[in-house]
Structure 1
Amino acid sequence: MGTSARKRRRTPAKEPSWNSSRLEEWGLSRGQQRLLMVVASVAGVLVAVVVLIFAIGSIGNDFVPERATTAAIATQPRPDAYKGWVSPKLFAPIAQHKADPTPLTLKDVFAEKVLKEGRITLRLGATKLDAGCSAAVWGQGLVDQLAQAGCTQAARGVYASADGRYIAQYTLLNLRNTAAADSLVQSLTALHRGGWTRSLESGRAHFPLSGYTEASGHAMGHYAGLVWIGRADGAEPGVKDDFVSLSLAVRGAEKVVFRRVVAAAPPS
C-alpha cells in the first residue's frame, strides 16, 4: 500500500455562499455588486461562487498517470486530496478569452499582501507570472492539457499564515474558454496524481515534499483557479485546523476575476 493510500480521507464540507458583504470586502462597489446580481439573475443563478470542498481522494489512491515520470513524482510535492468545480453561469460574460483579452498582471491578482478569513490571516510571500504555462507546472500530461487549453498565463502566489501554522498557494490560469477551464479542473481529479503546479518558496512558506496537502480547482469563465493548502509542518489537519477558512482566505485573489466580469458586462 502506497503512502497516499494510507492517508486518511476527509469528508466534504458544505459549500458556503458568497453574499454582498463578501463582494464589498473584495472591493466591488454597490453598483458593481448590483450588476453581478443582474448578470446572475439573467443567467438563472444566484450570485454564488463554488468554494473549496476538500474531497474524498481521487480515482484510486494509488493511481498515477503513466505519462508522469517517477523522478518528477519523487521530487515534486502534490496534493493528497483534490476536487474540481466547473464554472458557474455567473461568469458567462467572460466565457471566451476574446471577451476579456487584457493580460493578467501580478499587481492585478496579488494586489493585497494580506488576506483574511475568520481567524486565518495569510501574508503573501512570493509571486511569479509565467507565459505559456508549462514552466508553472510539472507532469507531461498536465503540460499537454494546458497547451490544448490555450493557456497563455499562469500567475502563482504563495502565502504563510501569520502564526506560521499554514501554507497556501493560489494559481490563476488564463485559458481559451470555459470549456477548456471546465475540462481542466475536472481532469485534475485523476491527473493531479502525476502532475500539479510547481510550488513557490518564500522563507517558511513552502510545501514539504512528504507532507499532507489538499487542493481544489475552480473554473471561472475562461480562467481556472487552483487552490493548494496545508499545514506548514506537513501534518494532516486535526480538529483545531480550519481548512475551509484557509481555502476561502487564499481565494481572495479571485476578486480580479469578478472585476473582469463587470468590465465585460458594463451597465447599459
Structure 2
Amino acid sequence: MSPSEPPTPGRPGRRRKNSEPAELPAAADQSAPGRADNSADRAGGRRKGGGRRKKEPRRFGRMLTLLVGALVVALVALGTVLFFDLTGDDEQQTAQETRPALYRIQDSRDSNMNVVLSSREDDTRPLNEGELFERHNSEISGQSLDFTLRDSDLTEDCSAAVWGDGLQQALTDADCTQAGRATYVSDDDIFGVVTVFNLADIEGSRAVAQAMELPETEEDEEPVDPGFVLPPSGNDPFDRLGAGYSAADAIITGHYLVVVWVQPADSESVEERVSLVAPLVTLANFRNPFFRRIGEVGGGEGTGTEEGAGDGTEEELVEDPPLEEEIPIEEQVEQPVDPGE
C-alpha cells in the first residue's frame, strides 16, 4: 500500500485481509430474530398479550342524554307550578268575609217543628249529605223561581263555615256538631247560599241567630262585626256575594238553624235596594228534610212535601206557618214632603 492511500478501518495495528468477511452491523444481527418471531406470531393468527387492545365505547353520550332529559322534566314542572301561582286555580278560590245588607231572624215559636225538634236529645240521627243535598234539594222551585244546586259541603267543623270570632264562639257555646252549606243559582239571575247548623237545642239556635246581628251603636261609632256565614265556594258569582244588595233570613228550625242568603247577579252596590222576598221564601224550602224528621221523632207521618206532590212552595208545609214577608221596598222609602205644606 502506498503512503498516499488511507488506512483501512479496523482494529489499530491490524490490517484486514481481503479474504476476511466484513462484520455485519450489530443492529442488523439483533433485529433479524425479532422479525422472525413477529412473522411467526402473525402466521399463527394471534397477538401477544402485551399487544394493543380494542378501546371500550365511551358512556359519556348516554349520560349526557339522561341529564338533558331530567333537566327538561324539571323545567316543565317548574313552569306548571309558576303558571298556577300566577293565574290562580278557580277550584281553590275562597269565599269573601262579607255580610248581607238586610238580616232578619224568623222564629215561629209555636210551630210544630220547633216543638218536636226542640232538642238533639230527641232527634239524635246526624245529618247526611243525601238528606240535605239530594231529592227536593237538588232543585228547589217556588214563587215562580227555579234554583239548581251547584256546590255543597257537610262538615263537623262548624267554625270553618263562618267567619268572625263572635259567631264562632256562639257556635261553640251552642254545641254545634255539624254545618251543612249549599250554593244555588237560578235562570232569573238570582244566586244564594243556604247554611244549616246542627245545635244542641232550640235555645242554642236562637243564640246563634242573635250572634249574627250587628250590635247597636251610636251614629258616629262603627259597630264590631261579629261575623257571618261563608259560602262553600268563592267561585263566580259567589265571589260577589255581599258586594251588591243582598238579604238573609235566619230561620229557627228546632235545634237546627237555617240561614238563607240571596242576591241578584247584576247588583253591584248595597245601596241598590230591591225586594228579595220571593227568592228568600223559595230557598227556605231547603228545610223539607226537617219536616220529614218530625215524623221520625214524633212517631207520626212527616208533614213536609212528598216527592211529586205540589210545587214545593212554603205554603205546602202546612204544619209550620209561612215565613214573615218582607215589607215592600216602596213602603220603606220615605214619602217626599210637599214644598207647599
Scaled to the shorter chain, the TM-score interval is 0.5 to 0.7
- Kept in 1: contact 2:170–2:211 (CA 8 A): no
Question: Greater share of strand residues, 1 or 2?
Answer: 1
- CA 1:207–1:167 in 2, change beyond 3 Å: closer, same or farther? farther
SS at match of 1:98: coil
- Work out whether 1:255 is the aligned partner of 2:294: no
Which one of 122, 125, 129 corresponds to residue 147 of structure 2? 122
Q: Choose between structure 1 and 2 for higher RCO, CA contacts under 8 A separated by at least 6 residues.
A: 1
- Kept in 2: contact 1:86–1:185 (CA 8 A): no
CA shift, 1:156, in A, is 0.3
Q: Residue type of the partner of 1:184?
A: V
CA shift, 1:87, in A, is 4.7
Structure 2 counterpart of 1:131: 156
Q: What is the total number of aligned residue pairs between the two structures? A: 193
- Kept in 2: contact 1:85–1:185 (CA 8 A): no
Greater Cα radius of gyration, structure 1 or 2: 2
CA shift, 1:202, in A, is 7.2
Which one of 113, 120, 123 corresponds to residue 97 of structure 1? 120
Which one of 232, 243, 264 corresponds to residue 200 of structure 1? 232
For 2:107 and 2:207, the matched residues in 1 are separated by: 8
- Work out whether 1:152 is the aligned partner of 2:177: yes
Which structure 1 segments of 5+ residues have no match?
A: 1-74
For 2:232 and 2:244, the matched residues in 1 are separated by: 15
CA shift, 1:250, in A, is 1.0
- CA 1:237–1:265 in 2, change beyond 3 Å: closer, same or farther? farther
For 2:154 and 2:271, the matched residues in 1 are separated by: 30
Structure 2 counterpart of 1:267: 300
- Kept in 1: contact 2:182–2:231 (CA 8 A): no
SS at match of 1:190: coil
Structure 2 counterpart of 1:162: 187
SS at match of 1:234: coil
SS at match of 1:134: helix
For 1:107 and 1:242, the matched residues in 2 are separated by: 32
Q: Residue type of the partner of 2:259?
A: L
SS at match of 2:212: helix
For 1:203 and 1:82, the matched residues in 2 are separated by: 23
CA shift, 1:210, in A, is 2.2
Which structure 2 segments of 5+ residues have no match?
A: 1-95, 216-223, 302-341
For 2:187 and 2:271, the matched residues in 1 are separated by: 17
Q: Residue type of the partner of 1:175?
A: L
CA shift, 1:223, in A, is 0.5
- Kept in 2: contact 1:86–1:181 (CA 8 A): no
- CA 1:234–1:201 in 2, change beyond 3 Å: closer, same or farther? farther
- CA 1:234–1:76 in 2, change beyond 3 Å: closer, same or farther? farther
- Work out whether 1:172 is the aligned partner of 2:196: yes
TM value normalised by structure 2? 0.52
For 2:178 and 2:103, the matched residues in 1 are separated by: 22
CA shift, 1:205, in A, is 3.9
Percent sequence identity is 25
- Kept in 2: contact 1:85–1:182 (CA 8 A): no
- CA 1:212–1:79 in 2, change beyond 3 Å: closer, same or farther? same
